Amino acid sequence: MEKINRRTFMQSVAAAAAVSAVPEAEAKPEGSGPVFLSTWPHGKPANERAAEVFKSGGSLLDAVEKGINVPESDPNVMSVGYGGLPNADGVVSLDAGIMDGTRHRAGAVCALEGIKNPISVARLVLERTRHTTMAGEGALRFALEMGFHTEQLLTPKSLERWMQWKATPNHETFWITPDNHDTIGMVATDGRGHMVAGCSTSGLEWKIPGRVADSPLVGLGYFADDNAGAASATGDGDLMSNYCTSVSIVHLMARGASPQEACAEILKQMVKTIPANKDGECAVIAMNNRGEIGTASMNAKFHLKYALWRNAESQLLDSVVLY
Ligand code: ASP
């Protein structure tokens, strides 16, 4: 299995080398239309909002930011923004990041409390500062200076879940056995080779206060480069952080892998280094600068459903399962 896929991948690298001799205009067809690709069922309304924003004249960055605002603001999405499950202290601590593939610049916030749309604060880190990532107290002060207001992000439902967890004997075993997480990751193109990626999460439920994983960190939870494509990751960020998944996928695409090959390749690399990673909760999505897409889940236990918006059609589909 490994050998065949490896060979297929190498053939695609050779094929891509041939493609790179094709004139630019043929490699990136003008006006093929925007494409939005997101993780999980909550990615579908997010894509639809993003497409709407883009259609009404917003930039691709506006589209991704406003699209991600949808699950962030939805109290029923318990892994992102308002209503996201809290940390061990019962505090909702949010992470988000967004990257512009033209400027090759990202903005991100980590461990932000009391602000339900962290992707919008991340966008302002990108637009208004020379920094890339801001964390905790400083990120909150920045958000307040930018006009955001704090609010209680716990909902009756998420508070109840936290209280149930607190009442469980030996509840701290969560520190070694993660359970809930379903970040929103979105990758997008304008159909003319411009790429944007974004990611927003409340992170692992009951996490140790201060924990930051892959989602807000550029290259880990998301990455975009107009020269190749964009990618995002979801799942056990403590595990995936060690593999810099999103930037690795984009670099594989830059070397000629298709988005599907690149997604499969990074998860296989994880298993090659540590075979037990086969049971890990890991999934990735990718899109190249021609709007072709790829998705992969490590195993059937953590099976990513992804949302795709293309040619005015909005779909929810099953990713490829590797092991
Ligand atoms: N990767 C995120 C984290 O570990 C969670 C997720 O993607 O579902 O914080």
CATH assignment of the domain containing 300:
3.60.20.30
Rg (the chain; Cα; Å): 19
CA of 204 to the centre of ligand 1 (A): 6
For 51, the domain range is: 6-321
Strand intervals (E) in 165-238: 184-189, 195-201, 222-225, 229-235
Question: What atom in ligand 1 is closest to the CA of residue 199?
Answer: 7
pLDDT in tens, the chain (323 residues): 343 344 444 454 444 433 333 334 344 444 579 999 999 999 999 999 999 999 999 999 999 999 999 999 999 999 999 999 999 999 999 999 999 999 999 999 999 999 999 999 999 999 999 999 999 999 999 999 999 999 999 999 999 999 998 888 777 666 555 555 679 999 999 999 999 999 999 999 999 999 999 999 999 999 999 999 999 999 999 999 999 999 999 999 999 999 999 999 999 999 999 999 999 999 999 999 999 999 999 999 999 999 999 999 999 999 999 99
Strand intervals (E) in 3-57: 35-39
Residue 281 forms part of a structural domain = yes
Question: What atom in ligand 1 is closest to the CA of residue 79?
Answer: 8
For CA atoms 120, 96, 102, 257, give the dihedral sign: negative
Tell me how far apart the alpha carbons of residues 245 and 236 are, in angstroms, rounded to a whole number: 12
Which residues approach ligand 1 with their CB closer than 6 A?
Answer: 79, 181-183, 201, 203-204, 213-215, 234-237
Domain count, the chain: 1
| Half-sphere CA count of 145, side-chain side, radius 13 A | 10
Q: What is the pTM of this model?
A: 0.89
Helix (H, G, I), strand (E, B) or coil at 228: coil
Q: Which of 102, 150, 168, 183 is catalytic?
A: 183
Residue 1 forms part of a structural domain = no
**Known catalytic membership, residue 183:** yes
